[in-house]
Amino acid sequence: MTSKIHKLLLSAMLTLSSATFVMNAQGVIEIEPLFEYPTAPEELPTLEAKSDYLVEHFWDQMDFKSKTTVDQNALNDAFRVFSIPLRWASRDKAVAATDKLLQTISKNPILMLQFTKAAEENIYGPRAEVWVDEVYLKFLNTLVKNKKIPAQRKKKYEDQLSVLSKTVVGCVAPEFSFENVNGDNVTYFPMATPTIIIFGNPKDADWRLSRLRMEANASLSEAIDKGKINILFIIPDKMDDWKQEVVGYSPKWTVGCGNNLKAVYDMRIAPSIYTIGADGKILLKNTPLQTAVNRVLEEVK
């Protein structure tokens, strides 16, 4: 059923060649597409095959030669549609398509900035429907290395690159320092124990409910008791009364408060949850808590 839904969504979105309508402060405006979006051949048998085709050929009809700049709203819409097959395409096709696009636009600093902004909006930022870190990293690396783009225009993207490049799935989890409930300054570093790190605010009502559910999970509690799983709850920024807020947390958890840890870890949602494997590498990031719990329990079976 899920596959059928995905196919219908993909078909509906990627045959869209008419204007898009969006709401702004002045009301509804019409956005004409930059080019006609492609349609995957019907004979391609699978969702991945159709997605591979669309990712590979999506930008074929865009006129890069005569355009030194484009309408940003129209480009954002095009990238939004591009992001749909991007989530189901094979890694190799997604990477190859991105490399080809970047090679085309990298010599034009204005287009490079516009495309990176569109990528940020659609595959990285808080309003993105899907996050594709590996692809967005390619935009960041290309933009930051571009000598024609002024330093002040790069600053935000350099900061994103610094954090994101160290916290993609598969990277060794970065070390960080924090104060624990005893007032000691300690450093987290990956150990040979599957770990969930929760960067959150103890005052958040949704987190309070999630914590109670987590502590009521018998399988998780048993694994923690046996030392098979570690749980860290870390407040990422200074909070004056934080120790009062974490009274009652499990003594078998590591609980603490850091300072500006968003400069170390990619935290685009709150709470931001990382699942670390026994090899110290990031298995999952920014997922629902139950997804993280299920994954660490699989690791210790």
State whether 274 and 156 are in the same domain.
Answer: no
Helix H, strand E, coil C: the string for 57-69 is: HCCCCCCCCCCCC
State whether 8 and 141 are in the same domain.
Answer: yes
Mean pLDDT of 120-136: 94
The pLDDT score that the predictor gives to residue 20 is: 53
Is 2 a residue whose pLDDT tops 50?
A: no
Mean pLDDT computed over every residue of the chain: 91
The answer to whether residue 169 sits within a structural domain is: no
State whether 59 and 146 are in the same domain.
Answer: yes
State whether 91 and 186 are in the same domain.
Answer: no
Residue-wise pLDDT tens digits, 179-207: 999 999 999 999 999 999 999 999 999 99
Is 89 a residue whose pLDDT tops 70?
A: yes
Distance of CA 72 to the CA centre of its chain: 22
The answer to whether residue 49 sits within a structural domain is: yes
Write down which residue in 106, 134, 164 finishes a domain: 164
The pLDDT score that the predictor gives to residue 199 is: 98
The answer to whether residue 181 sits within a structural domain is: yes
State whether 155 and 213 are in the same domain.
Answer: no
Question: pLDDT tier at 18 (50, 70, 90 boundaries)?
Answer: very low
What is the distance between the alpha carbons of residues 115 and 111, in angstroms, rounded to a whole number? 6
The answer to whether residue 170 sits within a structural domain is: no
State whether 121 and 221 are in the same domain.
Answer: no
Query: Quick one: angle between helices 133-145 and 109-123, nearest 10?
Result: 160
State whether 39 and 123 are in the same domain.
Answer: yes
Write down which residue in 164, 196, 231 finishes a domain: 164
- What CATH number does residue 212 fall under? 3.40.30.10
Write down which residue in 140, 164, 188 finishes a domain: 164
State whether 129 and 38 are in the same domain.
Answer: yes
64 backbone dihedrals φ, ψ, rounded to 5°: -85, -25
State whether 245 and 130 are in the same domain.
Answer: no
Of residues 7 and 75, more confidence is placed in 75
Mean pLDDT of 39-58: 95
Question: pLDDT tier at 5 (50, 70, 90 boundaries)?
Answer: very low
The answer to whether residue 21 sits within a structural domain is: yes
Peptide bond into 194 cis (omega under 30): no
How many domains is the chain partitioned into structurally? 2
State whether 188 and 58 are in the same domain.
Answer: no
The answer to whether residue 280 sits within a structural domain is: yes
Query: Quick one: angle between helices 47-57 and 91-105, nearest 10?
Result: 10
Mean pLDDT of 260-276: 96
State whether 156 and 290 are in the same domain.
Answer: no
* Residue closest to 120 by CA, chosen among 103, 104, 140: 140
Q: Please report which residue ranges of 165-249 form alpha helices under DSSP H.
A: 205-215, 218-225, 242-245
Is 151 a residue whose pLDDT tops 80?
A: yes
Domain that holds residue 123: 2-164
The answer to whether residue 66 sits within a structural domain is: yes
The answer to whether residue 71 sits within a structural domain is: yes
State whether 13 and 116 are in the same domain.
Answer: yes
